[in-house]
Chains A and B, each alone.
Chain A
Amino acid sequence: MDNPALSRCRLALTLLAIAPFALGGACLRGRAGGARDIVLRDLGAFPAPQHRLPPDASDARLFGGLDLAATLSSGQVAHSAGVLATARTLILPMAERITPGLAGRLSGALDDGTFCVLALDEGVDEEALHPALADRLAFSLDLDEIRATEAQALSFDLDSVAAAQTLFSRVTVQPDQILELATLTLTLGISSLRAPHFALTCARAHAAFLGRDHVTQDDLIAAAELTLAHRATQLPETDPPPPPPPEGDDEETPPDETPENEDLDLPDDMLLDAVKAALPAGLLERLASGAARSATGSGSGARTKSNRRGRPLPARPGRPDQGKRIDVVSTLRAAAPWQKLREKGDGPVRVWPSDIHIKHYEQTSDRLLIFTVDASGSAAIARLAEAKGAIELLLSEAYARRDHVALIAFRGTDADVLLPPTRSLVQTKRRLAALPGGGGTPLAHGLEAALTLSLTARGRGLTPTLVLLTDGRANIDRQGQVDRPQAATDAQTIARAIRGQGIDALVIDTGNRPEPALSSLSQTLNATYLPLPRADARRLSAAVSDALDQ
């Protein structure tokens, strides 16, 4: 009872039971077992029927459809009713694994307000419930803070919940309370408009729970703590410091946001304090580092299991819906041993629904190594030759690893794509032979060309990785003028854009002495920094392979 996380969890679930459809649901984050099991054991207060939905549920399971198994076995058309048609409470185990498609459909269905969701998020680190779905659930509760022994105490008083349910619709709110919540969400940097509405509904449910027919300050405090804390992206005191932009290029950023925020009356301190007390651990660090939680399930690159294309995996028993392909041979093989037993009808082979096997494929997207090579005068011709050798070596290895390679050289006032993405060693050799040297170091141009190429490649399903070989003394800015400070600034700006796209990078310093500007550039890129003075082709390629395989 003393554990604040526990009392918060109990209160949130009680309020959800009072207004399940208006509040949408809760995301319960925590490992299986322990506190979570105890929470799940006591779901009597939530509307029935309750259904569990696996993270890969098909449309037929959701919305209903032809029940192929039943149709086959009975010889009569049999339809199955979808879960959404009847369910009033939907429990989603392994919610972090929900595909974007399913999350989208559930989100759409949630907007109709006919059921509520308990999403059991077992995610580790950055894995999390799909944001579209998370935005539609009022609560997000961390169960790992609760010990199983404490959780014994979690139980609902069904009578008081029922009483509160009848009272809920009559709970009134004052306009200034709405104003207060709207101001608070703005102060906390919560852009979604669902958040203040959830806070309002939650406050009403809280008032009903305490037997009142109007919302008071206490209700607002409880609601803010439960529905707004986990959505906060900023706090008024710790205004996220404006990203340290290099001087001079600020005129483009819309200046209208900050003043407007200052005009706001700061919301009641009590509300803000409540939110602060309930802030999830580590949120501020995350905000400070500017790392946004990545969307789950979709990113390009990684390995994807597919039912339609890619490398074949062993066939598995399954149901042939949603465009999956039946593996005829496996199906027949599964049916074969039973033919003797099933031998009573006519027809040569008797296939039963349980025999059906579905094809599965695994797809790995190919990696594209984009070598961005400094061909300026400062990068001595010798080093350039080593770089060429390294690329050839890497490419010969890359063939086995199914990597593609591209080469961009920057020199003078421009950057050229010397080698468009390819896996052809012959083509690479021919193109590299013509790699010219000399001139200034337009680092920004080189990075920009690499960024453009990466985005194009990503559109074609490749996973781009950038390898930058330079001695880092940028001296040509984006306008093509000789201007050292501006050149460095431009390079940093584009590096930020590259990082923003989530492109992996590796920076190899080929200068005789490690260049500080380059190491700060690699920090901006979130890249590995490798000073490799006097590296020969073999060491270079080994270093690149090592860094990439990490």
Chain B
Amino acid sequence: MTDPFPFSAIVGQDEMKLAMMLTAVDPSIGGVLVFGDRGTGKSTAVRALPALLPQLTAVTGCPVNSERVTDVPDWAKGAGTTTHRIGTPVVDLPLGASEDRVTGALDIEAALTRGEKAFQPGLLARANRGYLYIDEVNLLEDHIVDLLLDVAQSGENVVERDGLSIRHPARFVLVGSGNPEEGELRPQLLDRFGLSVEVASPKTVDDRVEVMKRRHAYESDHAAFMLRWQAEDAAVRERIVTARETLKTLDATDEVLQDIAELCLKLGADGLRGELTLLKAARAYAAYRNDTAIGRTHIRETATLALRHRLRRDPLDEAGSGARVARVLSDTLA
């Protein structure tokens, strides 16, 4: 069972899957936050990403997955002069990770054994051009959060410690998951996630039966199951590659911008990041559907994803902010 459970074989959870697709089409949307109960397929979806996403061209042995040889940072040792195709990196950031492991630090091994001052890249370097996944993101320690905020904003990791002065690109799609019952997320970090999804386990027997059947097939008839679903994954991958091209041809008309601005204003979303993200998400969605222009459908389908986590919290609104977005959406874009 070395192959992870295929992405396409996940039953339901369309919103989560859509959010992942949109960031795959346009990584600049800036990450996905998945909140929900345990056992709803959050980690399964993330672990399925490497097999789903298109491959990248990267310099062999480059610690930050540079695309061209000229981009390889000067501190990188052992980087080759040729490029090869690699899977999109999906890097786990474990909860207890120390600052050293995240940003990189002095290579203790080289220092102790050879007396060299060398930089050992951390998780941020490995995640460059790929995905950085934080499970239980709401339990992450504050000093790591601060660090991520800065890097996610600037797209560059700066290390000034142990007598080192190093900077390298760190552009990644941040994927966080967690269980809201265990703690809230700081608003600043919340804002850095482009899209947010709430997942719940399927409430119908049919869906649950389907989940069990597929899981059973995955374990007992692995080869045939993978063959069947890898084909589906390949189709999705094709669609992503096409959408990335289509994306460049899509421009937002004034009406679209007007709609988006009005929507955000009515919802009282904090800051301007909401508008920008919604625009990007709607465009990525249009590209994903291979449509020729951005329209209200695209806004309608992506508004909840892009805005839900940017509203001022109302402790009494038990319906959740998703419902608030839906309400304003039907008023504004009627």
Contact with B along A169-197 (1 / 0, CB 8 A): 10001010011011101100001111111
Q: Cβ of A105 < 8 Å from any Cβ of B?
A: yes
List B residues 86-111 near A (Cβ within 8 Å). 92, 94-101, 108-109
Q: Cβ of A22 < 8 Å from any Cβ of B?
A: yes
Q: Cβ of B135 < 8 Å from any Cβ of A?
A: yes
The smallest beta-carbon distance between B326 and chain A, in angstroms, is: 12
Q: Cβ of B331 < 8 Å from any Cβ of A?
A: no
Task: Find out whether the CB atom of B216 lies under 8 angstroms from the CB atom of A292.
Answer: no
Task: Find out whether the CB atom of B184 lies under 8 angstroms from the CB atom of A108.
Answer: no
Known: A71-B112, A132-B136. A292 touches B181 (CB 8 A): yes
Identify which of A72, A102, A193 contacts B211 (C-beta below 8 A).
Answer: A193
List B residues 240-273 near A (Cβ within 8 Å). none
CA distance A182 to B207 in the complex (A): 9
What A residues does B69 contact at CB under 8 A? none
Contact with B along A191-207 (1 / 0, CB 8 A): 11111110011000000
Q: Cβ of A44 < 8 Å from any Cβ of B?
A: no
List A residues 97-118 near B (Cβ within 8 Å). 99-102, 104-105, 107-108, 111-113
Q: Cβ of B41 < 8 Å from any Cβ of A?
A: yes
Q: Cβ of A64 < 8 Å from any Cβ of B?
A: no
Q: Cβ of B82 < 8 Å from any Cβ of A?
A: no
What A residues does B39 contact at CB under 8 A? 135, 191-195
Q: Cβ of B309 < 8 Å from any Cβ of A?
A: no
Known: A178-B213, A323-B99. A185 touches B208 (CB 8 A): yes
Task: Find out whether the CB atom of B38 lies under 8 angstroms from the CB atom of A186.
Answer: no
Known: A104-B136, A252-B319, A298-B139. A77 touches B205 (CB 8 A): no
What A residues does B211 contact at CB under 8 A? 182, 193, 196-197
Known: A135-B39, A185-B208, A322-B98. A104 touches B184 (CB 8 A): no
Task: Find out whether the CB atom of A169 lies under 8 angstroms from the CB atom of B182.
Answer: no
Task: Find out whether the CB atom of A101 lies under 8 angstroms from the CB atom of B219.
Answer: no
Q: Cβ of B220 < 8 Å from any Cβ of A?
A: yes
Q: Which residue of B lies closest to A199 (CB)?
A: B212
CA distance A415 to B194 in the complex (A): 34
Task: Find out whether the CB atom of B40 lies under 8 angstroms from the CB atom of A193.
Answer: yes
Identify which of B143, B183, B319 contacts A298 (C-beta below 8 A).
Answer: B183
Contact with A along B156-185 (1 / 0, CB 8 A): 000000000000000000000001011110
CA distance A59 to B101 in the complex (A): 10
Q: Cβ of A392 < 8 Å from any Cβ of B?
A: no
What A residues does B92 contact at CB under 8 A? 108
The smallest beta-carbon distance between B228 and chain A, in angstroms, is: 18
CA distance A186 to B112 in the complex (A): 57
What B residues does A157 contact at CB under 8 A? none
CA distance A107 to B44 in the complex (A): 12
Task: Find out whether the CB atom of A101 lies under 8 angstroms from the CB atom of B316.
Answer: no
What A residues does B212 contact at CB under 8 A? 178, 181-182, 193, 196-197, 200
CA distance A361 to B79 in the complex (A): 40
Task: Find out whether the CB atom of A102 lies under 8 angstroms from the CB atom of B96.
Answer: yes
What A residues does B41 contact at CB under 8 A? 193
Q: Which residue of B lies closest to A168 (CB)?
A: B220
Task: Find out whether the CB atom of B94 lies under 8 angstroms from the CB atom of A101.
Answer: yes
List A residues 41-83 near B (Cβ within 8 Å). 59, 66, 68, 71-72, 75-77
Task: Find out whether the CB atom of A112 lies under 8 angstroms from the CB atom of B40.
Answer: no
Q: Cβ of A448 < 8 Å from any Cβ of B?
A: yes
Residues in chain A within 8 A of chain B (CB atoms) = 22, 59, 66, 68, 71-72, 75-77, 99-102, 104-105, 107-108, 111-113, 131-132, 135, 169, 173, 175, 178-179, 181-183, 185-186, 191-197, 200-201, 252-254, 257, 260, 264, 292, 295, 298, 300, 308, 322-323, 448, 451-452, 455, 459, 461, 478, 493-494, 497
24 of the cross-chain contacts (CB-CB < 8 Å) are A59-B97, A66-B108, A71-B109, A101-B94, A104-B136, A105-B95, A105-B96, A135-B39, A182-B208, A182-B211, A193-B41, A193-B202, A194-B38, A197-B212, A200-B212, A252-B317, A253-B318, A292-B181, A295-B139, A298-B182, A298-B183, A300-B183, A322-B96, A323-B98
Q: 20 new A-B pairs (CB below 8 Å) besides A59-B94, A178-B212, A194-B38? A: A68-B108, A68-B112, A76-B113, A100-B96, A100-B136, A105-B96, A107-B43, A108-B92, A108-B94, A132-B136, A175-B209, A186-B208, A193-B39, A201-B219, A253-B318, A254-B319, A260-B204, A308-B143, A448-B316, A478-B316
The 5 A-B residue pairs whose C-beta atoms are closest, nearest first, are: A101-B96, A192-B39, A323-B98, A101-B95, A182-B208
Residues in chain B within 8 A of chain A (CB atoms) = 1-2, 37-41, 43-44, 47, 92, 94-101, 108-109, 112-113, 135-136, 139, 142-143, 179, 181-184, 186, 200-205, 208-209, 211-213, 215-216, 219-220, 313, 315-319, 323
